[in-house]
Structures are given as C-alpha cells and as structure tokens.
Amino acid sequence: MSKLNEPIIRHSASRGADSPDVWGIYEPDTGSIQYVCADPATKKAALIDVVLNFDPASFALDTRSMDQVLDLVDKQGLEVEWILDTHPHADHVMASSRLKSRTGAPNGIGERTRDIAELWRGYYNTPDAFDPDRDFDRLFADGDRFALGDLEMRVMLSPGHTLGSITFVCGDAAFVHDTLMQPDSGTSRADFPGGSAEDLWNSLQAILSLPDETRLFIGHDYGAEGRDEPEWEASVATHKAENIHLKGGGTKWEYIERRNKRDATLALPDRMLAALQMNLRAGQLPEAEDDGAHYLKMPVNKF
C-alpha cells in the first residue's frame, strides 16, 4: 500500500561532533519535506521549509503540518532558535510568520528574495507589494555563517529553481531544497520566472563538491517507479553514483537540454499563483480590506 498519501516522520541521527540531529516530516498534499535540524548538545533547533496547509479549491488555510512539526519539537525537548526557508516556494505556503509568532524565534530567507519580490510585483501588477526586509528578520547572503546552538550553519547561494534559492549546510547535513530530487528521480525543475537550467547545473555541482559523506536533504519527493514510500535523504556519494540526471558524466549542455525539454512538459503547480503572494510576505495574507476579509490577486493568461 502506498505511503505517499500519509504524513511520515523519520529521524536521521547525529553522527558525532559537528553533526546535527535531523528529522524529516513529509507533507503528503504537496510532497514537501519539512525539517527540524537540532544541535544534540544544546537542543537548539532550526525549522526549515515548514508548510502552512492551503486548499487550492477553497483557498482555506490550516496549521496541521506546522502543528505536527511543533509537536515533534516539544516531544524532543528542543528550543526553536531559527525559522528558515530556502526560497519563496511555488507549491506550498510557508509557515514562517506563524512560526515566528508561536515561538518568538527569528525568521530568515535568502537576500535575493528581494529580486524575486521585484519580479513578481510586475506579474501581479502590485508595485507596492512585498517587502522582504520587513517580513523577514534575516536575509542571508552567500557565505553567511550563523550559530545553531554550538553548531555552525553556512549559507550557499543555489539558484536555478528560483534565482534566490539558498542551501543551509550544518556539519554533515545540507538542506538542498528544490535542486536535487532523490537519485531515482533526478533533479528539480528550473522553468519558473527567474529560474535557469544553467544556474541549476552550477548549483548542483557546488552541492556535489561537499564531502562525499554529507547527508543531502531534498525539498520534495513524489515517489518513483518501483517505490511507494517517500524518501528524502541520500549522501553526496550516492547522488554522484546513482542520480539519474547526473551519473555517467554527461556535459553541462546535455543536462541543460534535457532539463529544459522536461520542464516544457510540466504544468504550473496548482498553488503557485496564490502561494507566492503569501510567501513573499513570509506566509502572511495581504492586508484585510474594508470588509475584514483578505483577497489574493490572480493574473489571467500570463502563464
């Protein structure tokens, strides 16, 4: 029986000094994986790419996935030190602002979210919308380092899926979001506005230059032929040897051609045009109008 429609939690244990505990929490509606990365010594934790559930049919929001993550934090005796997102997601709404309200921890995302916001102000014809400097406490630059308890987290700029995607590296764990998929599924799409298959290739090479034993934690899994359970962890060495888009020594230009050809067949995610209006506000709705309700703006025939 397939488990791709069930929420699942798995623990990837610390391997010793400078190695975090990592819990992956699979969100089945969007195939997203949410992460808790914790320092075993201090119990300080970062929450990464946590989902605020959104029904694209009714436009209703709920917090069941976020609550599941916070329940795990409580059960493990952790203290939330950071709320992190790797990029403004197109397929789910981020829980960033609600987590900040619940925990008091600062939230962060990549500094090139400013550029993504500028791009989407044009698509939505909302020149005064979106202020990442207001809605996020930290906008990370490539190479930034910050503490997670006694551990250090490092930021890598990893564009391609979006122009501002970032990877968080903590010891022997790297949270690589929508770059790699699992080895049997290849790599992520690069056709959204601001995306680039060439940039994605370069980002993949940088990620695969990490030590072979590094645990890579991906952003999504939709299953694969012969596999009916979601997976989200594999080593750098495993990806080098087995990733179906990267093994065998193909050239950069062969990869770009194959990626672009595949992307041309893909539909937009059904949550994308709604989600980005919230995610560029750290998961918040636009200001309520005079009737007390919130409204989203949808461009017609632009995509």
Q: How confident is the model at residue 163 (pLDDT cuts 50, 70, 90)?
A: very high
Q: Which domain holds residue 196?
A: 8-276
Q: Does a structural domain hold residue 3?
A: no
pLDDT score at 169: 98
**Alpha carbon distance 220, 261 (integer Å):** 21
Q: Does a structural domain hold residue 301?
A: no
The mean per-residue pLDDT over the stretch 172-195 comes to: 96
The mean per-residue pLDDT over the stretch 159-178 comes to: 97
The mean per-residue pLDDT over the stretch 173-192 comes to: 96
Taking the CA atoms of residue 245, residue 201, residue 256 and residue 162 in that order, the dihedral angle to the nearest 10 degrees is 110
Q: Does a structural domain hold residue 292?
A: no
Q: Does a structural domain hold residue 255?
A: yes
Q: Does a structural domain hold residue 239?
A: yes
The mean per-residue pLDDT over the stretch 35-39 comes to: 98
b/e per residue 22-45 (b: at least 16 CB within 10 A): bbbbbbebbbbbbbbbbbbeeebb
Ranges 126-130, 219-223, 245-249: which has the least confidence: 245-249
Ranges 39-43, 179-183, 266-270, 281-285: which has the least confidence: 266-270
Q: Does a structural domain hold residue 30?
A: yes
**Alpha carbon distance 95, 298 (integer Å):** 21
Q: Does a structural domain hold residue 293?
A: no
Q: How confident is the model at residue 2 (pLDDT cuts 50, 70, 90)?
A: low
How many domains does the structure of the chain reveal? 1
**Alpha carbon distance 5, 115 (integer Å):** 35
The mean predicted confidence, pLDDT, of the chain is 95
Nearest of 34, 119, 130, 134 to residue 85 by alpha carbon:
34
pLDDT score at 85: 98
- Asked if 168 contacts 84 with a C-beta cutoff of 8 angstroms, the reply is yes
The mean per-residue pLDDT over the stretch 289-293 comes to: 96
Q: Does a structural domain hold residue 303?
A: no
pLDDT score at 1: 53
Q: How confident is the model at residue 226 (pLDDT cuts 50, 70, 90)?
A: confident
- Asked if 85 contacts 96 with a C-beta cutoff of 8 angstroms, the reply is yes
The mean per-residue pLDDT over the stretch 106-124 comes to: 97
In this structure, what CATH number is given to the domain that contains residue 262?
A: 3.60.15.10
The pTM of the full predicted model, rounded to 2 decimals, is 0.96
